[in-house]
Amino acid sequence: MRKGVLELCILAIIAEQDAYASDIITKLKEARLIVVEGTLYPLLTRLKNEGLTIYRWEESKSGPPRKYHQITETGIQSLTELRNDWHELVASVDKIIGISK
Amino acid sequence: MYHPDRVKITTMKKTLTINLGGIVFHIDEDAYLLLNQYLDLLTRHFRAQEGSQDILNDIESRIAEILGEKCSETKQVITLEDVQEVIGIMGQPVEIDQEEAPKQKRDMADGEKGAKRFFRNPDEKIIAGVCSGIAAYFHLDPVWIRLIFVIFILAGGSGILLYLVLWFIIPEAQSTSDKLEMRGEKINITNIEKSIREELSAIGGKIGSMANESAASLRRAGSGSGSFFEIIGKSLADVFRFIGKGLLILIGILLVIVGFSMVLALIAYTFGWTGGIYTDNEITVMAFPALARLLLGCNIPVVYLQVMVLMVLGIPFFMLFYNGLRMMFRFERIPHLGLTMFNIWVIGIFFLAWSGLKIYNLYKVDEEKQIEIALEEPATDTLHVILMADDPGMKYLRYEKFDILGDWKTVITEDKELYLVPGIRIEESDDSLFSISQVTMARGKSRLEALQHLAGIRFQSATSGSTLRISPFARLPKEECWRGQAVNLVIRVPKGKFIRFDKQIRDLNPYWYWLANSAEETTFQMTENGFEINQGKDHINAKGDSTTTDTVRP
């Protein structure tokens, strides 16, 4: 059921502000969308491979350089599409759930 | 979660220094092993995915970050708990799969478990997990494998040996990755292809790391070899280490041979496959089942004694064998095997002592009965001793299969009847008359029981004129237990008179050295010097010494 939803959320988080793994994890965990952190990394890599995001290295005060993810033009387009899909899906599902009530 | 009080009680541990995501950590050895295993598992898990190296690098950095937060001024070493926590945070591959739910995920998850290997399954074991390990390998219910083993055990017992061998050969699945490998995969084209690819890359990796290692060792050798003597010293140490290893293996081989053959011999003897054991002076030691049956009689099944003897004597030899194997092949100690065997051994000792006491009790009370056999004064001066021709024991006179305890001959017939050879003792008579006493003996738990056993003895003797006829054996019918029953004949011969034994009496017991070997009959005379053989010109003392007596046969 969550197929694609996590990608959408990650993309949305990155679109708002360039983020590194820890930030994204914090937000996803707050929203209770993931339980184990290992889930995130394959998804980030997939987004990057699909050209939706890129990353850059940034020095950190407390430790090694961090990988900051940044959304691309294609990413923004894709995010808009996914958002629309999501809203449509929610609307459709709501309709059905509403009827059954 | 960092517990300062827990750290205090930890004993000294070996730590390693690692570089994780560009940060240097000090880490406990056990923690390192777990972390390494986890990263290995992830590597295998993501191997088939695009950009797997990126994923792994990211995960490694994140782990480094979390671990970095755990370190402080006062705590500099990563512990096992830290690593366990990190793994909890990052998740097992299966958990990652469940959440991530990527496209084409399902068909990949099936093939996620890497190469298939035989392992013993410690989670579902009855003895050592051999059966459930095999079942896991073939995707079967362990019940079926166990059933097959039980059938093998019932059909000749080969299952036991097979199980033991497999127990030794197959390692136990200890780590998570072992257990995943143990489960194996369903066989289909993608998995076959994948496993071939994995194998190739594994070989590639191994060659790569070997090359690195040898390069490093070359470099080390180049920089470290300061003096000639250092090199000599090092290689001497290597030589000694090599000799030491070889010696260890040699001792191992010796232990394996001794242990194995002793266990085998013990089993063979205990179960009577060897029959009796022949010692050099042709005296046979009774085969164990016969001996045990004699001692225990009919009360306790012989198999108890067999099992106990195997427990008490077999286990030490088995452990010899096992430790020899370990020295030879240097495999990991089988968990709890030593302790288990020791416990079984102690139980065996305990039961053996207990049954020793029980056997002693069976023989506690001793009863004896003496009958005087009436005898007319022999017409001549000679008493003739012969066997009863119509006695049922006559057919066992030259029986090949008899058992000997010391010099005491016993026949156990196929009908489980016992035939005991009577003892014959010759003494000098107080007066001028021949007299014969028949002494029967038996033992038992109580007086009454001893008397009952006494009454069970079947032995006949009769006189007519100057002839004494006796049964060749004291017979114990099938339902009688052996409790030390014995029959002794005491024949008293007046001075100057003769006693003549029939040749058949010699056949009763080949160890009656006082009877002449070849002659048809053996005649003795009671003389001034005691009891002497009288064989025409041969005059031999009853004890076998040559004498020069002038006794003439009447």
Q: How far does the CA of residue A97 sit from the closest CA of chain B (Å)? A: 24
B341 is written with which tokens? 């065997």
Is A43 near chain B, with CB under 8 Å? yes
CA dist., res. B315 & res. A73, Å (int): 76
pLDDT band, very low/low/confident/very high, at B518 (cuts 50, 70, 90): low
Q: Which residues of chain A have pLDDT under 50?
A: 1, 101
Give chain A positions within 8 Å (CB) of B61. Answer: 21, 64, 67
Least confident of A13-27, B204-218, B328-342, B366-380: B204-218
Assess contact for B302 and B289: CB atoms under 8 A: yes
Virtual CA dihedral for B30, B120, B42, B44, nearest 10 degrees? 130
- Identify the residue whose tokens are 């001792």: B251
CA B267-B272-B274 angle, to 5 degrees, is 85
Return the percentage of chain B with pLDDT > 70, whole number. 70
SS3 A53: strand
CA dist., res. B97 & res. A2, Å (int): 12
> H-helix or E-strand containing B425?
strand B423-428
CA neighbor of B414 nearest in space, from B402, B427, B432, B398:
B402
pLDDT band, very low/low/confident/very high, at B157 (cuts 50, 70, 90): low
Fold of A5-100: Arc Repressor Mutant, subunit A (1.10.10)
Mean pLDDT of the region B267-277: 73
Q: What pLDDT does B538 receive?
A: 42
Please give the residue of chain B at the shortest CA–CA distance from A33.
Answer: B99
Q: Is the pLDDT of residue B115 over 60?
A: no
pLDDT band, very low/low/confident/very high, at B179 (cuts 50, 70, 90): low
Is A26 near chain B, with CB under 8 Å? no
Q: What pLDDT does B514 receive?
A: 65
Q: pLDDT tens digits, residue range B405-448? A: 545 567 777 777 788 888 888 888 888 888 889 999 998 889 99
Q: How far is CA B391 from the centre of its chain?
A: 44
- Domain map (residue ranges) of chain A: 5-100
Give the CA distances from residue B253 to residues B177, B332, B333, B461, in Å, rounded to whole numbers and listed in that order: 33, 17, 17, 61
Q: In this complex, do A38 and B54 lie within 8 Å of one another by their Cβ atoms?
A: no
Give the CA distances from residue B396 to residues B207, B364, B508, B521, in Å, rounded to whole numbers and listed in that order: 77, 31, 9, 20
Tell me the backbone φ, ψ of residue B148, rounded to 5 degrees. Answer: -60, -45
Q: Is the pLDDT of residue B187 over 50?
A: no
Nearest CB among B22, B59, B103 relative to A41 is that of B59
Q: In this complex, do A3 and B68 lie within 8 Å of one another by their Cβ atoms?
A: no
Q: Is the pLDDT of residue B507 over 80?
A: no
Q: Is the pLDDT of residue B199 over 60?
A: no
B357 is written with which tokens? 């006491």
CA dist., res. B107 & res. B142, Å (int): 26
Nearest CB among B42, B99, B103 relative to A34 is that of B99
Q: What pLDDT does B210 receive?
A: 60
Q: What pLDDT does B304 receive?
A: 80
Q: In this complex, do B99 and A22 lie within 8 Å of one another by their Cβ atoms?
A: no
Q: In this complex, do B91 and A37 lie within 8 Å of one another by their Cβ atoms?
A: yes
Assess contact for B475 and B418: CB atoms under 8 A: yes
Mean pLDDT of the region B72-76: 80
Assess contact for B438 and B468: CB atoms under 8 A: no
pLDDT band, very low/low/confident/very high, at B388 (cuts 50, 70, 90): confident
- Domain map (residue ranges) of chain B: 1-105, 113-206, 257-362, 365-533
Q: pLDDT tens digits, residue range B31-44? A: 888 888 888 888 88
Q: What pLDDT does B439 receive?
A: 92
Best mean pLDDT range from B63-77, B181-195, B203-217, B309-323 = B309-323
Give the CA distances from residue A86 to residues A3, A9, B15, B245, in Å, rounded to whole numbers and listed in that order: 12, 11, 51, 69
Q: Is the pLDDT of residue B68 over 80?
A: yes
Give chain A positions within 8 Å (CB) of B101. Answer: 1-3, 6
Q: Is the pLDDT of residue B23 over 70?
A: yes
Q: How far does the CA of residue A95 sit from the closest CA of chain B (Å)? A: 26
Mean pLDDT of the region B59-85: 85
Higher-pLDDT residue of B480 and B285 is: B480
Output the average pLDDT for chain B: 75
- Identify the residue whose tokens are 């095999």: B134
pLDDT band, very low/low/confident/very high, at B111 (cuts 50, 70, 90): very low
Q: What pLDDT does A1 receive?
A: 45
Least confident of A74-78, B155-159, B220-224: B220-224
Give the CA distances from residue B325 to residues B254, B255, B394, in Å, rounded to whole numbers and listed in that order: 10, 8, 54
CA B246-B250-B256 angle, to 5 degrees, is 140
CA dist., res. B267 & res. B310, Å (int): 7
Least confident of B29-33, B105-109, B310-314, B502-506: B105-109
Nearest CB among A6, A37, A48 relative to B89 is that of A37
Q: How far does the CA of residue B259 sit from the closest CA of chain A (Å)? A: 52
Q: What pLDDT does B186 receive?
A: 43
Q: In this complex, do B95 and A36 lie within 8 Å of one another by their Cβ atoms?
A: yes
Is A96 near chain B, with CB under 8 Å? no
SS3 B374: coil
Higher-pLDDT residue of B113 and B136 is: B136
Q: In this complex, do B62 and A41 lie within 8 Å of one another by their Cβ atoms?
A: yes
- Identify the residue whose tokens are 């416990």: B343
